[in-house]
């Protein structure tokens, strides 16, 4: 593992010199370290770049780390990672991604992750993205997340990108079975000339299935964000999406949320708000002794916490 | 050898001199207001709606700038200082309509108000003073999931957390239930009994007026009446009865 990978891992995957339990570290398209455990087996794919992660039924309290780093320009890394989570398992999956570029060429990571959760499984999936380095080459991260939830399973996805990624297109697709739930929390901040596009497409097929999608973003500088979501209810189900964006300086945001109900008992709600920080919020914090700049920073920090 | 020179403690924590304010390009709301608030006292500002009470509070906190007059705080002319500077000098202001934040928790706001981390006991005590249980509220976001009464009480707690030289409360009773209101009146009494920090409360509530050291009646942008609570309150109550009773106050008396 090189120095840059080590630094990126500290930021995106809580790396403290080593990982405990199962892990696979991907560096510039290669493997920089792997460990399986009794309950979590990590194997290379034979037909495609990437790995299969098999989590045994009933596994409780384990964390799997599968971070990926691109440490220089002229790298276009494409990886397919599949997670097979056994019945009743309850685990945390940490999949941080960092791209670093000092050159004029692009550095890109494109991770295609598929999650197959068996009956009653529970996964907390943490995804943190970061771009570093001063090269002119674009830093790109284009993740695709496909989720298949069997009955009574729950996937909580926590995705964070707070800076340095010049271009990103983030696609999340899901099929939710009976009494299963998909919860997605996205936090995104763009600055400079960065662009970010988010696409959510989730179908609730099982009775009493549920989706809760919350996106909070801040667009600064001349950055641009696009948010598209489509929640489809094909059974008795509840779907909720909430998209809040704060504009700062010359940042721009497009939000196009969509709901599709094709069952009489599908209950779908969408809430969306785009705007600058409310003047009264800044004023309130100023009456507590903060300057205008401190107040703005604190509001953004809390919003994206 | 000379004795060290001690700064005389200002008896007047707040001195308002010929204060005036107009709606930009419009009506004069505050015409000529003069009064003083002594250190450690509870001053209640009352008067009819639209008389300029909230504007007066905003002028003192620096949220609005006067068109004329001076505001002297703890011996210093603060008329030209902005909101942040006045807050840093020790003025705290509780908004009549609490401000909501997505992402900032009750703990975040109380700690920002106090200027640093607060131990659980202190957080508990602050929320207890406004009739809230810390365990239920401390990690909740100050967003629209809180009721009007809950957010109002948290707003008041953010001002209590500041332990400021001058704390201004704009209609603290508005939107809170009777039980919480009783607790709040007790809190004002406790704060006053400490003798440190001046309280300026805008209120119409007789229970708050009844504990005032001084009452300032503002109407039509001017001070209509000012004096010790014991003297002003009976007159206000007599006026109120007279206004309601067709026989007039002479007959009632």
Contact B113 A288 (CB under 8 A): yes
Closest chain A residue to B104, measured at CA: A302
pLDDT one-digit tens code per residue, B110-158: 999 999 999 999 999 999 989 888 889 999 999 888 998 899 999 999 9
Where chain B has pLDDT below 50, the residues are: 1-8, 248-253
Of the candidates A27, A35, A30, the one whose C-alpha atom is nearest the C-alpha of residue A9 is: A27
**How far apart, in whole angstroms, are the C-alpha atoms of residue B83 and residue B64?**
9
Contact A288 B158 (CB under 8 A): yes
Per-residue pLDDT, A76 = 87
Per-residue pLDDT, B25 = 85
Strand pairing category for B28-38 and B12-22: antiparallel
Contact B87 A303 (CB under 8 A): no
Q: Residue-wise over A160-189: b if at least 16 C-beta within 10 A, else e?
A: bbbebbbbbbbbbbbbbbbbbbbbbebbbb
CB B64 within 8 A of CB B75: no
pLDDT one-digit tens code per residue, A265-279: 999 999 989 999 999
Q: Give the minimum alpha-carbon distance from A238 to chain B in angstroms, rounded to a whole number.
A: 19
Whether A67 has a pLDDT exceeding 80, the answer reads yes
Contact B103 A299 (CB under 8 A): yes
Contact A289 B88 (CB under 8 A): yes
Of B84, B101, B158, the CB nearest to A302: B101
Per-residue pLDDT, B244 = 58
Task: Tell me if the pTM is above 0.80.
Answer: yes
ipTM, interface predicted TM-score of the complex? 0.90
**How far apart, in whole angstroms, are the C-alpha atoms of residue B212 and residue B43?**
6
Per-residue pLDDT, B1 = 43
The answer to whether B95 faces chain A, any CB pair under 8 Å, is yes
Whether A8 has a pLDDT exceeding 90, the answer reads no
Contact B84 A304 (CB under 8 A): no
Per-residue pLDDT, B5 = 46
Whether A286 has a pLDDT exceeding 90, the answer reads yes
Q: Give the minimum alpha-carbon distance from B144 to chain A in angstroms, rounded to a whole number.
A: 13
Q: Give the minimum alpha-carbon distance from A286 to chain B in angstroms, rounded to a whole number.
A: 5
Residue A240: beta bridge partners? Answer: A212, A269
Give percent of chain A with pLDDT exceeding 70. 100
Q: Give the minimum alpha-carbon distance from B167 to chain A in angstroms, rounded to a whole number.
A: 11
Q: What is the mean pLDDT of chain B?
A: 88
CA-CA-CA-CA dihedral for B158, B160, B162, B165, to nearest 10: 140
Q: Give the minimum alpha-carbon distance from A289 to chain B in angstroms, rounded to a whole number.
A: 5
Q: How far apart are the first and last CA of chain A?
A: 30
Q: List chain B residues with CB under 8 Å of A285.
A: 112
Average pLDDT over residues A35-48: 95
Per-residue pLDDT, B242 = 67
Which residues 46-65 of chain B have a CB within 8 Å of chain A? 61, 63
Residue A145: beta bridge partners? Answer: A113, A172
Of A216, A281, A302, the CB nearest to B108: A302
Closest chain A residue to B143, measured at CA: A303
CB atoms within 10 A of CB B226: 17
Whether A135 has a pLDDT exceeding 70, the answer reads yes
pLDDT one-digit tens code per residue, B26-42: 889 999 999 999 999 99
Of B83, B105, B108, the CB nearest to A287: B83
Residue corresponding to tokens 């930009």: B24
Give percent of chain A with pLDDT exceeding 90. 78
Whether A146 has a pLDDT exceeding 80, the answer reads yes
Contact A290 B112 (CB under 8 A): yes
Task: Dump the DSSP string for B165-212.
Answer: SEEEEESTTTT--HHHHHHHHHHHHHHHHH--SEEEEE---HHHHTT-
Average pLDDT over residues A44-61: 96
Contact B103 A281 (CB under 8 A): no
DSSP summary character for residue A166: S
pLDDT one-digit tens code per residue, A235-266: 999 999 999 999 999 999 999 999 999 999 99
3-class state of residue A101 by DSSP: coil
Residue corresponding to tokens 């009955």: A151
Q: List chain B residues with CB under 8 Å of A284.
A: 95, 99
Of B82, B102, B109, the CB nearest to A303: B102
Contact B99 A284 (CB under 8 A): yes
Closest chain A residue to B60, measured at CA: A287
**How far apart, in whole angstroms, are the C-alpha atoms of residue A117 and residue A176?**
10
Q: Give the minimum alpha-carbon distance from A136 to chain B in angstroms, rounded to a whole number.
A: 34
CB neighbours of A219 closer than 8 A, spacing ≥ 6?
A189, A190, A225, A245, A246, A247, A248, A251, A252, A253
Of the candidates B214, B169, B165, the one whose C-alpha atom is nearest the C-alpha of residue B187 is: B169
Strand pairing category for A50-55 and A40-44: antiparallel
> Where residue A7 falls among pLDDT bands split at 50, 70, 90?
confident
The answer to whether B177 faces chain A, any CB pair under 8 Å, is no
Q: Which residues of A touch B (CB under 8 A)?
A: 216, 244, 278, 280-281, 283-292, 298-299, 301-305
Whether A191 has a pLDDT exceeding 70, the answer reads yes
Q: List chain A residues with CB under 8 Å of B92.
A: 287-288
CB A94 within 8 A of CB A53: no
Average pLDDT over residues A209-232: 96
Q: List chain B residues with CB under 8 Å of A244.
A: 102
């Amino acid at each position: 593992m090189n120095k840059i990978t080590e630094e990126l891992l500290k930021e995106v995957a809580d790396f403290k010199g080593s990982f405990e339990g199962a892990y696979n570290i991907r560096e510039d398209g290669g493997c920089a370290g792997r460990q399986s455990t009794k309950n979590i087996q990590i194997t290379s794919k034979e037909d495609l770049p990437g790995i299969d992660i098999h989590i045994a039924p009933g596994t409780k309290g384990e964390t799997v780390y599968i971070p990926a780093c691109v440490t220089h320009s002229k790298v276009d890394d494409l990886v397919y990672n599949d997670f097979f989570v056994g019945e009743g398992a309850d685990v945390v999956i940490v999949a941080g991604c960092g791209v670093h570029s000092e050159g004029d060429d692009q550095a890109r990571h494109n991770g295609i992750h598929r999650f197959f959760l068996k009956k009653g499984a529970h996964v907390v999936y943490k995804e943190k993205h970061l771009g570093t380095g001063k090269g002119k080459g674009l830093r790109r991260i284009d993740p695709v997340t496909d989720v298949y939830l069997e009955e009574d399973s729950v996937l909580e996805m926590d995705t964070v990108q707070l800076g340095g990624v010049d271009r990103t297109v983030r696609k999340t697709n899901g099929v939710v079975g009976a009494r299963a739930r998909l919860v997605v929390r996205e936090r995104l901040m763009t600055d400079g000339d960065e662009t970010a596009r988010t696409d959510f497409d989730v179908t609730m097929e099982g009775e009493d299935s549920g989706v809760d999608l919350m996106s909070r973003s801040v667009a600064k500088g001349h950055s641009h964000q696009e948010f598209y979501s489509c929640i489809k209810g094909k059974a008795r189900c509840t779907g909720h999406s909430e998209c809040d964006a704060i504009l700062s300086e010359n940042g721009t945001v497009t939000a196009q949320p969509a709901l599709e109900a094709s069952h009489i008992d599908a209950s779908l709600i969408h809430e969306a708000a785009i705007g600058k920080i409310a003047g009264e919020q800044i004023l309130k914090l100023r009456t507590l002794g903060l300057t205008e700049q401190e107040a703005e920073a604190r509001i953004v920090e809390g919003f994206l916490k | 050898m000379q004795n060290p020179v001690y700064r005389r403690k200002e008896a007047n924590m707040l001195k308002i001199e010929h204060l005036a304010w107009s709606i930009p390009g419009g009506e004069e709301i505050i015409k000529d207001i003069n009064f003083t608030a002594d250190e450690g006292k509870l001053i209640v500002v009352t008067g009819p709606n639209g008389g300029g009470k909230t504007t007066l509070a905003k002028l003192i906190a620096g949220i609005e700038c006067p068109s004329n007059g001076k505001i002297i705080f703890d011996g210093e002319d603060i008329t030209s200082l902005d909101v942040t500077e006045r807050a840093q000098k020790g003025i705290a202001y509780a908004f009549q309509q609490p401000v909501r934040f997505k992402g900032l928790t009750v703990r975040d706001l109380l700690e920002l108000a106090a200027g640093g981390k607060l131990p659980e006991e202190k957080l508990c005590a602050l929320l207890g003073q406004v009739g809230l249980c810390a365990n239920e509220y401390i990690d909740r976001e100050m967003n629209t999931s809180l009721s009007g009464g809950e957010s109002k009480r948290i707003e008041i707690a953010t001002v209590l957390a500041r332990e400021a030289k001058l704390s201004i409360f704009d209609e603290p009773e508005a939107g809170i239930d009777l039980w919480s209101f009783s607790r709040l009146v007790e809190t004002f009494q406790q704060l006053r009994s400490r003798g440190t920090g001046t309280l300026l409360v805008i209120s119409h509530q007789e229970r708050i007026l009844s504990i005032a050291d001084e009452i300032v009646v503002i109407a039509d942008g001017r001070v209509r009446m000012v004096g010790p609570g014991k003297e002003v309150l009976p007159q206000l109550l007599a006026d109120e009865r007279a206004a309601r009773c067709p026989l007039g106050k002479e007959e009632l008396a």
